[in-house]
Structure 1
Amino acid sequence: MAGKSGAPWWAHMMLYAGGLTMVVAGGAAAVTQIGINTANNAVQPEDILGDAQADMDVENISGPLNILVLGVDKQGGSTRSDTMIMVHINEDLTQASMVSLPRDLYVEIPDCGPDWGNNTCMQKLNHAASISDDWDVTRANVVDTIYNLTGVEFHMGATVDFNGFMDLVDLVGEIELCPWHEITSIHGDKKTFPEGCNYYGKEDALDLIRQRYPWDEPEDYENDLWGDYGRQAMQQQAIKALIKELKADGYHKDPAKLSDVLEGLEGKLTMDMPDGLATIDLAMNLRDLDPEDITSIRVPATSQDTEVGSSEVIAEGEQQAAADALWEALQNDTMEEWIAQNPEWVKQTGNAATETEPSDGASEGTD
């Protein structure tokens, strides 16, 4: 069996990957000045969903739309995914929800690799992406696993490689990050980052958002921001801060600047879209989405011991009912109702220090 790779430092940053599309969408008119082909070619096509792709009217784009986003980690000759996000856009294309599937979620996997005779087994979700060095094999296994778990049909798929994605910080110079208490880096020269909001260049920003172990103060546990949850919160801040700076600097209106953003996306983002749907058309139709209003949702689950170690488990009873209702809401475009009924699994997405999410246990991936 191929060895598993740990979750890369950027793993949960992709929660806001869709937000950068809003920058491009806002500059749709400018895109036409630098050439539609430039915009369309910046996002490379990839067959992610296979035959399971849901039907979509590309001539009259409307919601609801479900998009599966996979964070990929390219190491050596293999590609793995430790991050899986389900993006839901409502019927009138004005609201978006993002559901993060925990990498340690205890699920049934259709193909568990050679050590299991390529048979079904119960394992952590990220195991689905570790059965082979062949990305075509692992990608299909991940998609099948998620569909079997949720029953959600996806209209589009995307892969995001964040190794280098934060190079876009160089375009704006600095981004604002707001640690809720002082922390000292465990990397390099052990730099100390003060409490509160400050502007950081790419190198310091990358160091700060990689931190996991320093989020170990009593207040972190009180606010459900300990360990990997703290790292996720900082990484989410970084993406939102980057989007804000790009918009503030006019990248969504200036053709030359927008060209830089598009070039920065090359090799870092691929999409599986229905035949006849171009990137620029999708961006135009999503122009009313505001990244500030993206709702972040955690799958109802708790940390429990399983036969494969500590895992995130959807427990029977209220959690199972909430999870089943979540999958149905994604499929039937009733997310607004689900969010109102399940506020404990909804997380605000601002840069506030009080930003929290439920803490029934967290999976601790490696950098």
Structure 2
Amino acid sequence: MAMWTAHHWSDMAVKTGAPWWAHLMMYAGGLTMVVAGGTAAVAQFASTTAENAVPQENILGDAQAEVEEIKGPLNILVLGVDKQGDSTRSDTMILVHINEDLTETTMVSLPRDLWVEIPDCGPGYSNNPCENKINHSASISGDWEVTRPNVVQTIFDLTGVEFHMGATVDFEGFLGLVDMVGEIELCPWHEIQSIHGEKRTFPEGCAMYDKDESLDLIRQRYGWYWDSDWEEGRGGDYGRQAMQQQAIKSLLKAFKEEGYLTDPGKLTDILEGFGDSLTIDKPDEWTVTDLAVNLRDIDPESITSVQVPSTPDKTTLDGTPVDIVMTHEGAEQEAADALWAALQNDTLDQWMTQYPEWVKTPGKTSTETPTGAAEESASATTD
């Protein structure tokens, strides 16, 4: 394959907020601690409320590690799902690693266009294996019971990482919580034109947005194709991830300002407000509140993000040109193999020292004008 050099893709490193499901765990633990000085009946109510607020399902299958006690290191697989009618697909795949001391967390987001081997490529391939974008593994059926194990097996085949816990997240359902605070603040680093529905224009800088506006903005990815976006590591889908992280932080800030995080009654409203937008897969011996208490020393603001060693490329699929992300043989493959081993062996500190180019760094606010990259990528065939 010919290397695509239209953009510099070095999605380098920033300390970023935790995924919202992790904050739910912390909220549950916080609720337990708030009522710890009260009666046993109140404490039991808090624990039961937290446990019942989080539906459980079998997510990991054979990729689940054998574990009994809640102790580090832990690897957690998070699948962001898009529910449309009776169909469910996964459009976000994140590997979360917590170190042995349960004090430090690293997030590895798998690019949705990452070119990988998929064990079941769907009816169009007679359900045989193929090479395709990783998000194709989630499009083989509208039945989540069929696609979910295919997604998990694809990730397990790629990384060899065994997971202690899994979670699925309906981000649109989560954004419904914006209704509880009315509006949240979002700060696009340059003007962006929506490709959805009302075709809104979001100006550069911070502004308050309601649920519909927020959801529209955090779903955008084709607008983040300026040269400066790629140089800052926020191009394409990585720009969308950055806006999602902003939404999470802004919502948490709003909840804190309105007293949701210190009032047990309001905190229960949050837990119940999640509905079925979060499901988890955890050992039966673990409770949500026990997990939260064990993870209480994690600072959400110190969570590190890592990019899978890879760069943009092009290929053809059924005769159609397709933009992809690929881990190329040589230095990238060496770094990727070392990353999967570091996740499994709890040696990410050493890995980040050896491969700092794949650890994210904050980008500066864009002031440059866009190039034709957005039009080029938006016209490409994607899953």
Determine if the TM-score, normalized by the shorter chain, exceeds 0.5. Answer: yes
- Is 1:195 aligned to 2:204, yes or no? yes
Q: Alignment identity in percent?
A: 62
Secondary structure of the residue aligned to 2:229 is helix
1:49 CA drift (Å): 1.2
- Alignment partners' CA distance in 2, 1:103 and 1:222: 19
Q: How does 1:306-325 map to 2 (within 5 A)?
A: 306-308=315-317, 309-325=322-338
- Alignment partners' CA distance in 2, 1:279 and 1:220: 38
Structure 1: which 5+ residue stretches go unaligned? 1-12, 355-360
Alignment partner, residue 41 of structure 1: 52
Contact persistence 1:34–1:259 (CA under 8 A): no
- Alignment partners' CA distance in 2, 1:108 and 1:225: 26
Distance change >3 Å, CA 192–CA 136, structure 1 → 2: closer
Task: Kindly provide the CA deviation profile for residues 14-39 of structure 1, in whole angstroms up to 9, marking residues without a partner as x.
Answer: 95542343333333324637432111
Q: Which has the larger displacement, 67-76 or 220-229?
A: 220-229
Alignment partner, residue 8 of structure 2: none
1:338 CA drift (Å): 1.4
Distance change >3 Å, CA 316–CA 270, structure 1 → 2: same
Alignment partner, residue 340 of structure 1: 353
Question: Which of the numbers 240, 247, 250 marks the counterpart of 2:256?
Answer: 247
**What's the Cα RMSD here?**
2.7
Alignment partner, residue 5 of structure 1: none
Give the structure with higher Rg (CA).
2
Contact persistence 2:32–2:46 (CA under 8 A): no
Secondary structure of the residue aligned to 1:67 is strand
- Is 1:208 aligned to 2:217, yes or no? yes
- Alignment partners' CA distance in 2, 1:64 and 1:230: 29
Contact persistence 2:111–2:237 (CA under 8 A): no
- Alignment partners' CA distance in 1, 2:174 and 2:222: 23
Q: Which has the larger displacement, 238-247 or 97-106?
A: 238-247
- Is 1:19 aligned to 2:48, yes or no? no
- Alignment partners' CA distance in 2, 1:235 and 1:200: 13
Q: Which has the larger displacement, 97-106 or 173-182?
A: 173-182
Distance change >3 Å, CA 167–CA 80, structure 1 → 2: same
1:113 CA drift (Å): 1.9
- Is 1:85 aligned to 2:94, yes or no? yes
1:109 CA drift (Å): 1.1
Secondary structure of the residue aligned to 2:48 is helix
- Alignment partners' CA distance in 1, 2:190 and 2:284: 49
Q: Which has the larger displacement, 226-235 or 270-279?
A: 226-235
**TM value normalised by structure 2:** 0.82
Secondary structure of the residue aligned to 1:54 is coil
Secondary structure of the residue aligned to 2:171 is coil
Contact persistence 1:178–1:353 (CA under 8 A): no
Distance change >3 Å, CA 343–CA 25, structure 1 → 2: farther
Distance change >3 Å, CA 80–CA 181, structure 1 → 2: closer
Distance change >3 Å, CA 192–CA 50, structure 1 → 2: closer
Alignment partner, residue 158 of structure 2: 149
Question: Which of the numbers 316, 320, 330 marks the counterpart of 2:343?
Answer: 330
Q: Which has the larger displacement, 66-75 or 236-245?
A: 236-245
- Alignment partners' CA distance in 1, 2:269 and 2:93: 28
Alignment partner, residue 28 of structure 1: 32
Secondary structure of the residue aligned to 2:109 is strand
Contact persistence 2:21–2:278 (CA under 8 A): no
Distance change >3 Å, CA 49–CA 207, structure 1 → 2: closer
Contact persistence 1:107–1:123 (CA under 8 A): yes
Contact persistence 1:22–1:290 (CA under 8 A): no
Secondary structure of the residue aligned to 2:108 is strand
- Report the residue type matching 2:27 in the other structure: V
- Is 1:283 aligned to 2:292, yes or no? yes
Alignment partner, residue 38 of structure 2: none
Q: Which has the larger displacement, 283-292 or 203-212?
A: 203-212
- Alignment partners' CA distance in 2, 1:89 and 1:201: 34
Question: Which of the numbers 73, 76, 81 marks the counterpart of 1:72?
Answer: 81
Distance change >3 Å, CA 35–CA 218, structure 1 → 2: closer
**TM value normalised by structure 1:** 0.85
- Alignment partners' CA distance in 1, 2:193 and 2:27: 33
1:75 CA drift (Å): 2.0
- Alignment partners' CA distance in 1, 2:310 and 2:227: 23
Secondary structure of the residue aligned to 1:204 is helix
Contact persistence 1:84–1:101 (CA under 8 A): yes
Task: Kindly provide the CA deviation profile for residues 96-147 of structure 1, in whole angstroms up to 9, marking residues without a partner as x.
Answer: 1111111111111112222322222111111111222332221111111111
- Alignment partners' CA distance in 2, 1:314 and 1:270: 31
| Aligned residue pair count | 346
Alignment partner, residue 136 of structure 1: 145
- Alignment partners' CA distance in 2, 1:193 and 1:14: 25
Task: Kindly provide the CA deviation profile for residues 301-325 of structure 1, in whole angstroms up to 9, marking residues without a partner as x.
Answer: 1111234332211101110011001
